[in-house]
């Protein structure tokens, strides 16, 4: 792990602990969360430097979190927080070395994921299912997203519940079976990640394991029950755009 900058990982964990001491379920998402959930082998294979910290917290605890971050020397991005503070907060680390992005209850990017019921499920991070969705809901997947997805799939087995090294397939079924757009983006991205496996992994055994997990996941999503809304939207298909494209913010 010496190749990695551990400072953000440690800082992320520290902030979650500080929040927990105040009774606030602050949960990591993004690359740092995936690293924390991963085993040593996955970390060695897919670990990377992490540019910033991403969190989710209850919207009702926004003030508590703001007070905590500001007490720790984090500088609020006032303009951004005033304009978008109902769903997002942005802070800069005391040395301005990185930024902290906070989602309040909802993760609203290419697709919208309601996370408020999932904050208390596990310590430190969101459950693996939601972490996977936050990566695979990205309409314009990049290399880092593929890498992070493979890291999660490397040592998370498809299961019917949450927990360490468990990927809650039932939860994925439920969300993707209710939202055709989300299902479509996730499916497309699983296909892309599948195609990228040989490029990202040199070891044939590891590649086979990852490919197999992707296949299992794809099969499960295809077989999962679909809602009436899903079926109706499916009739329209790709003729109508099914995702939104987040914009990069100039800071």
Tell whether residue 178 is a contact of other proteins (CB under 8 A): no
In this chain, which of 4, 13, 48, 59 binds other proteins, going by CB under 8 A?
A: 59
Taking CA atoms, 44 is separated from 62, 132, 190, 213, 224, in Å, by: 35, 19, 22, 19, 34
Tell whether residue 30 is a contact of other proteins (CB under 8 A): yes
Tell me how far apart the alpha carbons of residues 39 and 44 are, in angstroms, rounded to a whole number.
Answer: 9
Tell whether residue 191 is a contact of other proteins (CB under 8 A): yes
Helix (H, G, I), strand (E, B) or coil at 140: coil
Which window, 40-48, 125-133, 151-159, 217-225, contacts other proteins (CB under 8 A)?
217-225
Tell me how far apart the alpha carbons of residues 196 and 147 are, in angstroms, rounded to a whole number.
Answer: 9
Least gap, CB of 213 to other proteins (angstroms): 10
Tell whether residue 143 is a contact of other proteins (CB under 8 A): yes
Least gap, CB of 156 to other proteins (angstroms): 17
Cβ contacts of residue 214 below 8 Å, gap of 6+? Answer: 153, 190, 193, 194, 197
How many other CB atoms are there within 10 angstroms of residue 170's CB atom? 15
In this chain, which of 37, 88, 135, 156 binds other proteins, going by CB under 8 A?
A: 88
Which window, 42-50, 115-123, 165-173, 189-197, contacts other proteins (CB under 8 A)?
189-197
In this chain, which of 13, 81, 166, 178 binds other proteins, going by CB under 8 A?
A: 81
Least gap, CB of 140 to other proteins (angstroms): 4
E strand or H helix at 171, and its extent?
helix 169-178
Which window, 14-22, 38-46, 151-159, 211-219, contacts other proteins (CB under 8 A)?
211-219
Instruction: State phi, psi for 169 to the nearest 5 degrees.
Output: -65, -35
CA-only gyration radius of the chain, Å: 18
How many other CB atoms are there within 10 angstroms of residue 6's CB atom? 12
Least gap, CB of 92 to other proteins (angstroms): 11
Tell me how far apart the alpha carbons of residues 230 and 130 are, in angstroms, rounded to a whole number.
Answer: 20
In this chain, which of 160, 219, 231, 232 binds other proteins, going by CB under 8 A?
A: 219
Site residues for other proteins per CB under 8 A: 30, 54, 59, 62-63, 77-88, 101, 104, 108-109, 138, 140-143, 146, 184, 187-192, 194-196, 211, 214-215, 218-219, 222-223, 234, 237-238, 244-251
């Amino acid at each position: 792990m010496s190749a990695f900058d551990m400072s953000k990982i440690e800082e992320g964990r520290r902030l979650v602990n500080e929040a927990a001491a105040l009774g606030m379920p602050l949960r990591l998402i993004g690359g740092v969360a995936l690293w924390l959930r991963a085993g040593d082998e996955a970390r060695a294979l897919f670990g990377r430097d992490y540019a910033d910290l991403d969190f989710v917290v209850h919207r009702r605890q926004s003030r508590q979190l703001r007070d905590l971050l500001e007490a720790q020397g984090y500088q609020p991005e006032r303009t951004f927080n005033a304009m978008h503070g109902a769903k997002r907060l942005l802070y800069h680390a005391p040395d301005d070395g990185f930024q902290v992005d906070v989602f309040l209850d909802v993760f609203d990017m290419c697709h919208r994921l309601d996370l408020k019921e999932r904050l208390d499920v596990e310590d430190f991070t969101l459950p693996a299912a939601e972490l996977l969705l936050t990566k695979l809901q990205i309409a314009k997947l990049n290399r880092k997203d593929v890498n992070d997805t493979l890291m999660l799939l490397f040592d998370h087995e498809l299961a019917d519940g949450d927990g360490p090294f468990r990927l809650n397939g039932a939860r994925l079924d439920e969300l993707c079976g209710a939202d055709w757009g989300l299902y479509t983006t996730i499916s497309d991205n699983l296909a892309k990640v599948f195609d990228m496996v040989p490029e990202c992994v040199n070891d044939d055994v590891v590649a086979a394991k990852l490919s197999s997990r992707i296949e299992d996941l794809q099969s499960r999503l295809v077989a999962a029950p679909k809602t009436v809304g899903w079926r109706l939207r499916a009739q329209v298909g790709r003729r109508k755009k099914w995702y939104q494209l987040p914009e990069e913010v100039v800071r």
